[in-house]
Amino acid sequence: MSGDHDHSHGGNMRRVLIALVLTATFMVVEVIGGIVSGSLALLADAGHMLTDSMALALAAVAFHVSKRPADARLTYGYQRFQILAAFVNGLSLLLIVAWILYEAIDRFRNPNEILGSTMLLIAAIGLVVNIIAFAVLHSGDRDNLNIRAAALHVAGDLLGSVAAIVAALVIIQTGWTPIDPILSIAVALLILRSAWVLVRRSAHILLEGAPEWLDIEAMQERIIREVPAVVGIHHVHVWGMTPQDLMLTMHVRLQGTPRNPTECIRHIKQMLKAEYGIGHSTVEIETDDCADHQPTR
């Protein structure tokens, strides 16, 4: 299992690095093209790609750092750094949306001349580059929030290139330049939805939230029903270092004094691993009142 995880981890990092090189290289081309053509759609996409380059670099650093083993200061290791990177990337996407909306409103007030043919050429090249980068990232681990964050950034670039192509064609055919900021706003709103989901999910993990799919009460009832001698469960805490690395602590009250309480713990741990994917669990056994309760005097 560890070998598979390391292989997936290394593959994800290579995908991010490939996307980083593609994005950073074309960003320079798009900045020049946006300035020459006067297109906000191109400049907005170039600004997005600049932030994407930084976001992809952060994602690559996160994969590298998260491989470091646990130590005396960080006893759980560095896996959570990936979630922190995803959260920062999500916030950067929200800032990009705000910038695009601001620039689009300004363009409505102060329209300028746009060279449609130059805009079309740059946008078409950008579309090809973004499709390649997105395909590389999309083939990675889709449950990894760091990969999802990187893929969302590139997907936003891809949508920006499509919008720029459409805007360029309209401008070439009709000369109607307001299509440029209009499509920029449309792309920004699409990015906004995905960015908000990413920020919400990564923040939930950073706040030690329980997995959204897990019904904790149903899990407790099942353990009481299927594990002999268990008559009560309380102080249940479930969280994840990442969506894939779930952890749990709970107090389990047993009926009477079993001869082998370790076997009961083993049974519970096996169920948590097999049925709920919780690989790290700490189960405290009680045969009397909870040790956390202060005795009355």
| The model's pTM | 0.72
What fold does the segment set 216-286 form as a domain?
Answer: Alpha-Beta Plaits (3.30.70)
Identify any residues that bridge with 244 across adjacent strands, giving them in sequence order: none
Q: Which amino acid is at 103?
A: E
Which pLDDT band, with edges at 50, 70 and 90, does 257 fall under?
A: confident
The CA-based angle 131-183-173, given to 5 degrees, is 95
Mean pLDDT, all residues of the chain: 82
Identify any residues that bridge with 130 across adjacent strands, giving them in sequence order: none
Assess whether pLDDT exceeds 60 at residue 5: no
CA distance 21 to 57: 10
Is 216-286 the same fold as 2-206?
Answer: no
Q: Which amino acid is at 54?
A: M
Average pLDDT, integer, range 140-169: 79
Assess whether pLDDT exceeds 50 at residue 17: yes
Q: 137, 142, 143, 134: which is closest to 162 by C-alpha?
A: 134
Assess whether pLDDT exceeds 90 at residue 119: no
Each domain of the chain, given as residue ranges in start order, spans 2-206, 216-286
Q: Domain 2-206 maps to which CATH number in 3.30.420.10, 1.20.1730.10, 1.20.1510.10, 3.40.50.150?
A: 1.20.1510.10
Tell which wins on pLDDT, 74 or 235: 235
CB 120 within 8 A of CB 169: yes
What pLDDT score does 162 carry?
87
In angstroms, what CA-CA distances link 62 with 9, 148, 254? Answer: 11, 13, 43
Q: 10, 2, 97, 95: which is closest to 60 by C-alpha?
A: 10
With tokens 């976001």, the residue in question is: 55
Assess whether pLDDT exceeds 70 at residue 140: no
CA distance 246 to 285: 21
